[in-house]
Amino acid sequence: MKINLMKNSVAKKGQTIGVVAATGVDTKFGIDLLENKNIPAVGVSISNTPQEQTRLQALNKKELTKIVINSIRLSESKGIDKIMIYCNSLSGAIDLEKVISCSKADIATPIDVYEKIATKHKNFGLLAANGQSIGNIEKRILEKNKNAFIIGYCNIKIVYDVEKGISPKKIIDKHSLGKICNFFAKSGAEIVILGCTHFPYFYDALDSNTCAKLFDPSEKMIQILEKEKLMTSKIPNFYY
């Protein structure tokens, strides 16, 4: 499988983040997020399409883990200092302990964020790309909070529409995402997790179309890296 490499436009002046994600789109979202923070980044995408990534996650954990390890090694050869696995479903589908043991760099994933917020709430709504992602996020939350309740919804077609560049409003209307989030809230969800790194694409539009409180782990991942002294900027309060 071909591993694709990209980088953002921030000149290297300190430490550089390696972004490992599923497709070129969410990889670019990750390096753009870091660019907005004035952090240099090198991005690696490991799949050509969301469906290709879903098949790997569902059917071949060993092969997927190997691909991620090779991707991290490629990033390390480009001079990165830390790694951000910028994909929810990918983070839960690999042998993360093996990946960490094979890397020289510290690694942050969305899973780290969910473990940190697990005890802050009891009822969670979850929007995800596929069933693997829902199951893995639910598992991590329950490991930290055995009394938690998770109501989940997944739809890989939302990811395809983001990759096509369809407008956020049209995506929300087409897939009834405002209504789904309202259902989560009416069912008692205190927050609704956007459990896919494609979904911040429509965060603002969805936020204005639902009564639910949305939660995007992307910013929190960077804060985790800041806590590990990756950057020298002042660390904001982790919890909202």
pLDDT in tens, 11-63: 877 789 999 998 899 999 999 999 998 899 999 998 888 887 777 777 678 88
Structure tokens at 200: 């911040």
pLDDT band per the 50, 70, 90 thresholds, residue 235: very low
Domains and CATH numbers, the chain: 4-110+219-227 (3.40.50.1860), 112-216 (3.40.50.1860)
* Residue-averaged pLDDT of the chain: 87
pLDDT in tens, 177-210: 999 999 999 999 999 999 999 999 999 999 999 9
Provide, rounded to the nearest whole percent, the portion of the chain with pLDDT above 70.
92
Helices (H), the chain: 24-36, 50-59, 61-77, 88-93, 96-101, 110-117, 131-144, 156-163, 168-174, 177-186, 203-207, 218-227
CA 203 from centroid of its chain's CA atoms: 14
Buried b (16+ CB within 10 A) or exposed e, 110-126: bbbbbebbbeebebbbb
Choose from 5-9, 36-40, 170-174 the range with maximum mean pLDDT.
170-174
Tokens 């990033």 sit on residue: 75
Three-state secondary structure call for residue 126? strand
Cα dihedral 69, 74, 77, 80, rounded to 10, equals -80
Tokens 């000149």 sit on residue: 11
